[in-house]
Structure 1
């Protein structure tokens, strides 16, 4: 199958591209910067320069494709606003996909997006879901709520550096999923006709609070974690403050997501129907315990090797003074 992957340089998109290539699909990636996407070309993907916010660039990129996998998302550092990228850009992409005669479209939303209309990211995702449902395309909407890869920088790295782990005052359980598992299920969804016109959750085996993740990291790293809590009131103030400046709009919109994290309502759902429909064994899904176990084992082993090499190097050093006879 000829696949166009949008957002292929992102945390999730790159895993989807790699999985699709490994399974023998012809992969084309829409990118804004070929240099930053060079690794995709090395894997075997075709790169096409374009921008979903510039619809005139899309027709030649969509030409000849069998399906579109939309994993793009605005970054806090983007010059354009979240609305311009995640709403206007996605509308452009969906409409141009229709014009190109491509029937199959996979879109990544967020779990429970419809429950938070006052949170910009959630509201935009929900509106995009509705727009896609009314487009006439054979869509599949996948709704993750968090990726395990993001937890490394949030928890593991500060712990190994003996730095404090910052968490909000409230803790909502989140069912994080490994992006490699999401990629596997995504490519599988393309092969199963029953997934057309359907919306599915895309979540891990268990919902974890921040405190539970910290306890797990303490056990695996054998380190006592320093915790720093950020009051929700401070995040709300920062959100209002960053709305004063156009170049911080995206940061403000992301700070609004703190309302979701402080709600106390678990971001989790049953995956039974997903595994049954896709014919995938749920036991193959990576657990957070095994994910962190593998990470800490690999990193701690590397740190020991570095310490050993340093110690070995010091022993080999010769003193500048000759010993007296």
Structure 2
């Protein structure tokens, strides 16, 4: 029987990474999982006994993490939620951490690298949230690796900020809400990523099964949670972004939030879980 190739999953205890680990485990593939916390390690124990607890932004902590690994799948990245303060910058996590793993993979002869980027990583404007993904994409392009870069157009969970605001009775929409997207559930995205574990295109933009306008999605949140949809003119959002930058992390996230909510973000249709189903199954008590 042919030996199954080992896969390293970076960011393995996050919502997307955990789904990837579960799928690979169900397929009978040996998995090495990277997490930075004890809590993350506990989540991973049912699916693999090869768990590294390390901070990938420190190259020494992940030295030889790819030894004996054939494929790296990275779902490692900073949160874009306005309600989740990031301990380190997007550059430190999204670029440097992934670059450290990429360099280790080069040293250890890894065959393939699958990287979860972000839609907007290739646009001309230099958004801080997307810039680090762009740098890692460029590193992959010049690496000589067999690779696939997956750019999700957005996660359903990325709209949890609007649900948190809905609990506070306001659902802000920048502009008229006509921009369209087909965001995807993280479990459906995990299936796409695992499908490219062995081969795939260099770059693919991935979306979910249904296209909605931003206004339609806000109205679905309103119907499920309550609150009132409030349209914020783009000019007011621009003025807000020009105010003194006391909180750089939030400022960077707001800048990218304006872009994604006023621009069509549509990728190849995948999966079965709709946004309405996601809302129906959401534990609203878990929202702060």
Q: TM-score, normalised by structure 2?
A: 0.83
Corresponding position of 1:27? 31
Alignment partner of 2:52 out of 40, 48, 54: 48
Corresponding position of 1:315? none
Corresponding position of 1:87? 95
How far residue 232 of structure 1 moved from its aligned partner, in angstroms, is 4.4
8 Å Cα contact 2:112-2:145 kept in structure 1:
yes
- C-alpha separation in 1, matches of 2:263 and 2:160: 23
- In the alignment, structure 1 residue 114 sits paired with structure 2 residue 122: yes
- In the alignment, structure 1 residue 178 sits paired with structure 2 residue 178: no
* SS state at 2:122 partner: helix
- Give a deviation string over 1:74-110, Cα, whole Å, max 9, x none: 2352332211222222222211110011111100111
Corresponding position of 1:2? 6
How far residue 260 of structure 1 moved from its aligned partner, in angstroms, is 1.0
- In the alignment, structure 1 residue 139 sits paired with structure 2 residue 143: no
Count matched residues: 275
Corresponding position of 1:256? 255
- In the alignment, structure 1 residue 287 sits paired with structure 2 residue 286: no
- C-alpha separation in 2, matches of 1:139 and 1:166: 38
- C-alpha separation in 2, matches of 1:7 and 1:241: 34
* SS state at 1:62 partner: coil
Corresponding position of 2:74? 70
Q: Which runs of 5+ in 2 are unaligned?
A: none
8 Å Cα contact 1:242-1:249 kept in structure 2:
no
Specify which structure has the higher proportion of helix.
1
Corresponding position of 1:226? 228
Q: TM-score, normalised by structure 1?
A: 0.74
Corresponding position of 1:265? 263
Greater radius of gyration (CA): 1
* SS state at 1:256 partner: helix
* Cα pair distance change 1:266/1:44, threshold 3 Å: same
Q: Which runs of 5+ in 1 are unaligned?
A: 272-281, 300-325
* Cα pair distance change 1:203/1:242, threshold 3 Å: farther
* Cα pair distance change 1:269/1:39, threshold 3 Å: closer
- In the alignment, structure 1 residue 188 sits paired with structure 2 residue 192: no
Supply the RMSD in Å over aligned alpha carbons. 2.8
- Give a deviation string over 1:101-139, Cα, whole Å, max 9, x none: 111110011124211432112232222212101101111
* Cα pair distance change 1:235/1:90, threshold 3 Å: farther
